Structure 1
Amino acid sequence: MRRVPYGPVRDGWKLTNYSLGLTYNDTELPDGTMISYWQEGPYYDFTAAEIEELEAATATLYAMCLEAGDWMVKQCPRHTVQGRREGYFASVCNPSTCFLAKIGIPEFAHEQIIRTWFDGDAETWTHYDKDPDMRLPMETPDYSPSVYGRFDLWYNGAGSTPKLLEFNAQTPTALVESAVIQWHWVDQTGVTQHPWRQWNSIHDRLVGWEAADGEPANPGAWRRNIDKLRQARTWLPEKPKIFFAYETSETSGEDRMNVAYLMSTAEEAGYPVELIAMSQIGWDVAGDRVVFVPEPGREDKAQPIDIIFMLYPWEWFWQEEGGKGFFRNMADPSKHGTVWIEPPYKAALLGNKALLPVLWKLFGDDPERSKFLLPAHFAGSSGAAALKSYAKKPVWGREGGSVTLVRDGETITDNPTEYGSDGLFVVQELCELPSFDGLEGTVHPVLGAWLIDGEPAGLGIREGLGVDGLVTKDRCYFLPHTVEASQ
C-alpha cells in the first residue's frame, strides 16, 4: 500500500466526473474557501496480495457480524414465541433485560427488528397469524432483502492486519465515487496494466453478469433478492416496482445521487423504479398501508408501496411521529405490508457502534478473529475505564460526529455535534489512522470495504488532513486506488 502523490490529471476531469454522477464535488467552507471532494492526481496503490488480504478480512468480519446479530437478538425477550405473545405495545423490554432497549431502541420496533433478522432463514422463516393479539409464527416464509453495506477499516499495507473501525450497514454513501467515478478514472488514465486494475466489482454485483466460459451466470443482488422476496410473497408481480426515497433536506445532492445510482442499477437489472422524497411517503388510513403521495394533499393519487429502498436512518424513523404505524404495517406480511430495503435490523443490530463491544465480547479471546478487531466496551464499564488511549464514539452517530480521540489520557481531537445527546457511547482502543505525506501536510486514509449482498465487492478511500483528519468527516477527500500501478 503506497500513496502516489503525483498521478495523471485528466483534462476536464471535473466535468467528466459530474457527467457520471459526482454532482456534489465542490464544497464551500465557512471562510469562503472552495475545496474539491474528489482528489485528481494522488491515488493509492495496492499489491494483489494486499487486496486479497482486505477481501478475506471483509468476508470474515461480515460472518462475525452475523454471529453478533444473533447474540443481540437473543438478548431481547421478544425473540421467543412467548415474548411475541405479549403483543405489539406490551412493555416486556427494558434496559436491564433487553439489549435493544439498553441501546435506546423503542420497544415497538423490536418485533420487526427480530422478524426481519430471521426472514430468509429456512429454519426460522416467520409469518404471522391473522389474530393480531397472537402473532405466532407460521410455516409460510417471508423475506427481508439486504443489498449493501460498508466496513470502515484501518489498514497500513503488507505486514499490518485490517482492523474494523465501524460498520456502515444501513445508509453508507460514497457509493457513486466508489462504484463508478474511480472505475472510469482507472480506465481513462491507464495507470495500471494489472488484470484486476482495481478492487471494484460493485456495479456488476448489483446488476449481475452473463455466463462465460461455461461458468454459471451471476444474477446480481437485485434479481437475487427480489426473486427470493417473490417466493415468499407470491402476490408480487414478476417485475415489482421498487421505490427509492431520499431526504431532500440534504442539500448537497449527495444523498439524491447515491439513491439515484442504486435506482439505476435496479432498473438495469430489469425492474420498474421511481425516485421519490421521504416527504412523499404517506399513510393510507383506510387501506392501513404505506403509500406514495406524489402531490401534497392529493391522497386520491396515492400509490401503494410494496417495496422501497430508503436512504434514511432507521434510528430517526422510529423516533418520528407516525413511526409506530410503519412498524405495525411491517408486522403482518399476509396483509401485504411494505418491504423496506435496508430492513430495520441493519440499523438496530449492525449499523450502530454498539456492535463493536458485542464483537469484542464474542471474539476477543479468539486469536484468529480478534486480530481484525480493536478492544471495545460500553462507556462507563470497567473495560472502558482501563483504556488510556481510545476513541469515544456515540452509539448512534454519523460522519465522525461527537467522536473524541484520547491518547494517554489527553484529548487529541474531538468533533462536538448533537450525536450522543442520549448519553449512549462506546469506547474503542485507539488505533490512529496511518499517516502519509500529502501536498498540504500529513494525510490519514480510512479504507471503505464494500459488501454487496453480503459479499466483498470493492474499495473506496477517504482521506483526512492533519490531526483533525484522524476522524473521518463529511469534508474528507475521496481518492481512487489501483492494483499494482506501474508508476
Structure 2
Amino acid sequence: MRRIPHGPVRPGWQLTNFSLGLTYNDTELPDGTMLSYWQEGPYYDFTEREITELETAVSTLRAMCVEAGDWMVQQCPRHDRETRRTAYFTSVCNPNTCYLAKIGIPEYTHEQIIRTWYDGDADTWQHTDKDLDGRLPVQTPDYSPSIYGRFDLWYNGEGSTPRLLEYNAQTPTSLVEAAVIQWHWADQTKLTSHPWMQWNSIHDRLVGWPADGEDPADEGAWKRNIRKLREARPWLPEKPKIFFAYETSETSGEDRMNVAYLMATAEEAGFPVELIAMSQIGWDVAGDRVVFVRKPGDEVNAEPIDVIFMLYPWEWLWNEEGGKAFFRNMADPGKRGTVWIEPPYTAALLGNKGLLPVLWNLFGDDPERSKYLLPSYFAESTKAASLYSYAKKPVWGREGGSVTLVKNGDVILDNPTSYGADGLFVVQELCELPSFEGLEGTVHPVLGAWLVEGEPAGLGIREGVGKDGLVTRNTGHFVPHTVGAE
C-alpha cells in the first residue's frame, strides 16, 4: 500500500466526473473557500497480496457480525416465541434485560427487527400452533433483502492487520465514487495492465455478470434478492416496481445521487423503478398501507408501495410519527406489508457503534478473529475506564460527529455535534489512522471496504488532512486506487 502523490491529471476530469454522477464534488468551507472532494492526481496502489488480506478480513468480520447479531437478538425477551405471545400488551424489554433497549431502540420495533433478522430461518421463527386467545397471527418466515454495506477499516499495508473501525450497514454513501468514478479513472489513466486494475466488482455484483445460461451465480444482487422475495411472496409480480427514496434536506446532492445510482443498477437488472423523496412516503389510513403520495394530502389516490429502498436512518424513522404504522404494516402475517431495503435489523444490530463492544466481548479472546478488532466497551463500563488512549463514539452517529480522540489521557481531537445527546457512547482503543505525506500536507486514509450481499466487493478510500483528518468527516477527500500499478 503506497500513496502516489503525483499521478496523471486527466484533461477535463471535473466534467467527466460530473457526467458520471459526481455532482457533489465541490464543498464550501466555513471560510468561503471551495474544497474538491475528488482528488485528481494522487492515488493509492496495492499489491495482490494486500487485497487478498483485505478480502479475508472483510469475510471474517462479516461472519463475526452475523454471530454478534444472533447474540444481540437472543438478549431481547421478544426473540422467544412464548414471550412474544404473553407480552403482546405489556413491556418486557428494559436496558437491564434487553440489548436493543440498552442502545435506545423503541420496544415496539423489536419484533420486526428480530423477524427480519431471522427471515427464512423456519426453525427459529415459524410456528403453526394456535396463539393464546387468538390475539396474535401465526408468523411464518418471510424474506428481507439486504443489498449492500461498508466496513470502515484501519490498514497500513502489508505487515499490518486490517482493523474494524465501524460498520456502515444501512445507509453508506460514497458508493458512486467507489463503484463508478474511480473505475472510469483507472480505465482512462491506464496506470496498470493488471487484469484486476483495482479492487472493484461493486457494479457487477449489483447488476449481474453477462452469462449464456441461467446460472443463479450470474444473477447479481437485485435479481437474486427479488427472486427470493417472490418465493416468499408469490403474489408479487415477476418484476415488482422498486421505489428508491432519499432525504431532500440533504442539499449537496450526495444522497440523491447515491440512491439514483442504486436505482440505475436495479433498472439495469430489469426492474421497474421510481425515484422519490422521503416526504412522498405516506400512510393510507383507509387502506392500512404504505403509499407513494405524488401530491401532498392525496393519500387516497396514492400508489401502494410493495418494495422500497430508502437512504434514511431507521433510528430516525422509528422515532417519528409514522414509525409505528410502518412497523405494524411490516408485520402483516399475509406478507402484504411493504418490504424495506435495507431491513431494520441492519441499523439495529449492525449499523450502530453498539456492535463494537459486542464483537470484542464475543471474540476478544480469540487470537484469529480479535486481530481484526480493537478493544471496545460501553463508555460507562469499568473496562472503559482502564483505557488511556481511545476514541469515544456516539452509538448513533454519522460523519465523525461527536467523536473524541484521547491519547495518553489528553484530548487530541474533539468534534462536538448533536449526536450523542442521548448519552449513549462507546469507547474503542485508539488506533490513529496511518499518515502519508502529500501536497496537501499529512493525510490520513480510512479504507471503505464494500460488501454486496455480505460478500467483499470493492474498495473506496477517503482521507482527511492534518490533525483534524484523524477523524473522517464530510470535508475529507476521495482518492482512487489501483492494484499493481507499473
TM-score by length of 1: 0.97
CA distance in 2, matches of 1:199, 1:398: 26
- Compared with structure 1, are the counterparts of its residues 190 and 89 closer, same or farther at alpha carbon in structure 2 (3 Å cutoff)? farther
CA distance in 1, matches of 2:61, 2:266: 27
> Structure 1: which amino acid aligns with 2:118?
F
Other structure's SS at 1:462 match: strand
CA distance in 2, matches of 1:126, 1:391: 42
State the partner residue of 1:339.
339
State the partner residue of 1:468.
468
State the partner residue of 1:112.
112
CA distance in 1, matches of 2:298, 2:282: 11
- Compared with structure 1, are the counterparts of its residues 326 and 214 closer, same or farther at alpha carbon in structure 2 (3 Å cutoff)? closer
- Compared with structure 1, are the counterparts of its residues 152 and 161 closer, same or farther at alpha carbon in structure 2 (3 Å cutoff)? same
* 365-374 vs 119-128, which moves further: 119-128
State the partner residue of 1:135.
136
State the partner residue of 1:372.
372
Q: Indicate conservation of the 8 Å contact 1:211/1:217, yes or no.
A: no
Q: CA deviation digits over 1:390-445, x for unaligned, max 9?
A: 00000000000000000000000010000000000000000000000011210000
State the partner residue of 1:272.
272
Q: Indicate conservation of the 8 Å contact 1:86/1:92, yes or no.
A: no
State the partner residue of 1:295.
295
CA distance in 2, matches of 1:198, 1:255: 25
1:214 Cα offset (Å): 11
CA distance in 2, matches of 1:36, 1:180: 18
CA distance in 2, matches of 1:421, 1:379: 14
1:25 Cα offset (Å): 0.1
1:380 Cα offset (Å): 1.2
Structure 2 residue runs without a partner (length 5+): none
CA distance in 1, matches of 2:310, 2:192: 37
CA distance in 1, matches of 2:24, 2:176: 11
> Structure 2: which amino acid aligns with 1:192?
T
State the partner residue of 1:388.
388
Other structure's SS at 1:63 match: helix
> Structure 2: which amino acid aligns with 1:54?
L
> Structure 2: which amino acid aligns with 1:84?
R
CA distance in 1, matches of 2:7, 2:206: 30
* 208-217 vs 409-418, which moves further: 208-217
1:195 Cα offset (Å): 1.2
Query: After superposition, where does 1:74-473 map in structure 2 within 5 Å?
Result: 74-86=74-86, 90-126=90-126, 134-135=135-136, 137-138=138-139, 140-211=140-211, 217-334=217-334, 336-473=336-473
> Structure 2: which amino acid aligns with 1:18?
F
Other structure's SS at 1:124 match: helix
1:160 Cα offset (Å): 0.2
Aligned length: 485
- Compared with structure 1, are the counterparts of its residues 283 and 397 closer, same or farther at alpha carbon in structure 2 (3 Å cutoff)? same
Q: CA deviation digits over 1:152-180, x for unaligned, max 9?
A: 00000000000000000000000000000
Q: CA deviation digits over 1:66-97, x for unaligned, max 9?
A: 00000000000000011211455521111111
Q: CA deviation digits over 1:358-394, x for unaligned, max 9?
A: 0000000000000000000000111100100000000
2:485 pairs with 1:485: yes
Q: Indicate conservation of the 8 Å contact 1:116/1:343, yes or no.
A: yes
1:265 Cα offset (Å): 0.3
Other structure's SS at 2:53 match: helix
CA distance in 2, matches of 1:406, 1:399: 18
> Structure 1: which amino acid aligns with 2:362?
L
1:141 Cα offset (Å): 2.8
* 242-251 vs 126-135, which moves further: 126-135
Other structure's SS at 2:218 match: coil
CA distance in 2, matches of 1:336, 1:27: 43
State the partner residue of 1:35.
35
CA distance in 2, matches of 1:253, 1:375: 36
Q: Indicate conservation of the 8 Å contact 2:435/2:445, yes or no.
A: yes
2:1 pairs with 1:10: no
Q: Indicate conservation of the 8 Å contact 2:233/2:335, yes or no.
A: no
CA distance in 1, matches of 2:320, 2:131: 27
CA distance in 1, matches of 2:135, 2:413: 51
Other structure's SS at 1:301 match: coil
CA distance in 2, matches of 1:135, 1:287: 21
Other structure's SS at 2:123 match: coil
> Structure 2: which amino acid aligns with 1:415?
N
Q: Indicate conservation of the 8 Å contact 1:146/1:342, yes or no.
A: yes
**Percentage of identical aligned residues:** 78
State the partner residue of 1:50.
50
> Structure 2: which amino acid aligns with 1:257?
M
- Compared with structure 1, are the counterparts of its residues 132 and 157 closer, same or farther at alpha carbon in structure 2 (3 Å cutoff)? farther
TM-score by length of 2: 0.97
1:234 Cα offset (Å): 1.0
> Structure 1: which amino acid aligns with 2:320?
E
- Compared with structure 1, are the counterparts of its residues 264 and 28 closer, same or farther at alpha carbon in structure 2 (3 Å cutoff)? same
- Compared with structure 1, are the counterparts of its residues 388 and 167 closer, same or farther at alpha carbon in structure 2 (3 Å cutoff)? same
> Structure 1: which amino acid aligns with 2:352?
N
Q: Indicate conservation of the 8 Å contact 1:198/1:483, yes or no.
A: yes
